[in-house]
Amino acid sequence: MKFTARQISDLLQGQIEGNDAVIINKLSKIEEGEAGSLSFLANPLYTAYLYTTKASLVIINKNFVLTAPVSATLVRVESAETAFAKLLEMYNQVKLNKTGISKQACIEESARIGDNVYAGAFCFVGENAVIGHNVKIYPQVYVGDNVEIGDNTILFSGAKIYSDCKVGKNCMIHSGAVIGSDGFRFAPQNDHKKIPQIGNVILEDNVEIGANCAIDRATLGSTILRKGVKFDNLIHIAHNVEIGENTYIAANCVIAGSTKVGKNCMFSGQVGLVGHLQIADNTIFAAQSGISKSITKKGEGFMGSPAFEVSRYRKSYIHFRNLAALVERVDKLERANK
């Protein structure tokens, strides 16, 4: 794809400075700019690169003051970061704009397929599945029987959606993710027999699931991710968990069965929650926090394992670090008193 600087400036409703006819055919970081590339400057730490970059076009803030000549054509906008994000989104939409059903796709006759669907080679869509409009199913995706996929959802290569699960509109499920695998339940008192998991998983609208996540189906009922939930890679959600709207969870987190997480929570990496907890809205967990008790007060931060409120943890950590010195002082006092 090729665009002129003028076309990009008009798209962003910016003010152009320099050669408006220069051709742009790629994107780049400002420090790695090449001829024909478009970049942006938002972070002041990268200001020096504006004067040395070889990028042909750079988006900058409207109020940015130049202190030296610049070889690149400039587009001034209210927010360079926001404008560049808009271009990235448009670029991604064009890149992912695939349509058509591959001859090598396997779609059961009873499945219902919406308009403008893409189904890549070696994907499978099971019996009575319902696929919405503009859905993109990349090669080697598995969609089980009775699954429902909402409009505009993207399933990347290798994603697996087990039977009876429901995925909402405008969702994105990345490669290797497994939606609807069995919950981990066995009966030690009954010769360790597996307890059947006959529920499902429901992903509401605008949910994104990172690569290689595993979301277990419920024993009964549903494991539910509410609207706007965003998962990083390598996350495990156990049976009957519920994640509230717009909660963000970073990589390597684990949430045990039947725990309910509130809205707008934020999990840093490697957080673990035991089962059957209630987590209040707007809770924040620092990396590697271990949560063993319910949290009922909204908007608090937690840190440590076992975790407690973050300001208390930071004060306590000072004592943790000084523990060896305190032990030495106690030992000296004990020896002096003998």
Per-residue pLDDT tens for 176-227?
999 999 999 998 888 999 989 999 999 999 999 999 999 999 999 999 999 9
Per-residue pLDDT tens for 27-78?
999 999 999 999 999 999 999 999 999 999 999 999 999 999 999 999 999 9
Inform me whether the pLDDT recorded for 1 exceeds 80: no
Inform me whether the pLDDT recorded for 337 exceeds 90: no
The predicted structure's pLDDT at residue 28: 95
Q: Which two tokens stand for residue 275?
A: 């089962």
Q: Where in the chain is the domain with CATH 2.160.10.10?
A: 100-314
DSSP, residue by residue, 116-180: T-EE-TT-EE-TT-EE-TT-EE-TT-EE-TT-EE-TT-EE-TT-EE-TT-EE-TT-EE-TT-EEE
39 forms bridges with which residues in the sheet? Answer: 58
Q: Which two tokens stand for residue 4?
A: 């002129």
Per-residue pLDDT tens for 136-185?
999 999 999 999 999 999 999 999 999 999 999 999 999 999 999 999 99
Average pLDDT over residues 93-99: 84
Find the angle CA(170)-CA(93)-CA(132) to the nearest 5 degrees.
Answer: 35
Q: Which helix (H) or strand (E) holds 157?
A: none
Find the angle CA(214)-CA(215)-CA(216) to the nearest 5 degrees.
Answer: 115
**Helix, strand, or coil (residue 319):** helix
Distance CA 308, CA 108 (A): 52
Distance CA 299, CA 312 (A): 15
Regarding the domain delimited by 3-95, which CATH topology (the fold level of the hierarchy) does it fall under?
3.40.1390
Q: Where in the chain is the domain with CATH 3.40.1390.10?
A: 3-95
pTM of the full structure: 0.85
Class of 100-314 per CATH?
mainly beta
Positions annotated as catalytic residues are 239
Distance CA 96, CA 281 (A): 34
- Spatial contact of 165 and 150, defined as CB atoms under 8 Å apart: no
Q: What single DSSP character describes residue 139?
A: T
Q: How confident is the model at residue 325 (pLDDT cuts 50, 70, 90)?
A: confident
Three-state SS across 17-52? Answer: ECCCCCEECEECCHHHCCCCEEEECCCHHHHHHHCC
- Spatial contact of 127 and 144, defined as CB atoms under 8 Å apart: no
